[in-house]
């Protein structure tokens, strides 16, 4: 295995572990706050707030790391936004606030899969994807 590939895999695993740890901590905060306050209808705001902070952190990280727009970032943002919308819709419609937080755990798994799929692409495909993202953002 090439040294470059090993570095990419290590970076991907670091990102994946960071994402997992972040949402695990957010879930723990949510559960602790919810069980201690018994305000399930109020503490759900933890997840949209955490998704927004996650978006900002991802934006800063990938912009610093690449110096340009990163196509993986677009997928991560899209996954986070869709997860929040699904969470809110399902929670409000079913009033199962105590269970719908698991949607965010599924989101974490989806983001990890997105990272792994992105890494499976050849470097040239990744570069072309980045160039397409940059062109779209300029239009």
Q: Which residues contact 30 (CB under 8 A, 6 or more apart)?
A: 43, 44, 46, 47, 101
Paired tokens of 114: 């997105």
Distance CA 50, CA 29 (A): 10
Give residue 106's domain range. Answer: 3-138
Number of domains, the chain: 1
Digit-coded pLDDT (tens) for 60-119: 777 676 666 556 767 777 777 778 878 887 888 788 888 888 888 888 888 888 778 777
Distance CA 95, CA 116 (A): 34
pTM over 0.85: no
Q: Which residues contact 10 (CB under 8 A, 6 or more apart)?
A: none
As a whole number of Å, the end-to-end CA separation of the chain is 39
pLDDT value of residue 66: 65
For 43, 59, 76, 77, the CA distances from 56, given in Å and listed in that order, are: 21, 5, 11, 9
Distance CA 94, CA 134 (A): 40
Statement: residue 134 has pLDDT above 80: no
pLDDT value of residue 127: 56
C-alpha torsion sign, points 41, 109, 77, 136: negative
């Amino acid at each position: 295995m090439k040294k470059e590939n090993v570095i990419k895999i290590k970076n991907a695993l670091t990102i994946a572990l960071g994402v997992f740890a972040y949402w695990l901590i957010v879930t723990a905060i949510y559960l602790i706050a919810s069980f201690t306050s018994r305000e399930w209808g109020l503490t759900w705001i933890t997840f949209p707030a955490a998704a927004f902070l996650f978006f900002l952190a991802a934006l800063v990280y990938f912009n610093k790391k690449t110096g340009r727009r990163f196509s993986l970032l677009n997928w991560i943002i899209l996954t986070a936004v869709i997860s929040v919308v699904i969470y809110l819709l399902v929670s409000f419609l079913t009033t199962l606030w105590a269970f719908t937080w698991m949607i965010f755990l599924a989101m974490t798994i989806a983001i990890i899969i997105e990272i792994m799929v992105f890494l499976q692409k050849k470097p040239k495909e990744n570069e072309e994807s980045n160039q397409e993202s940059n062109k779209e953002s300029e239009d």
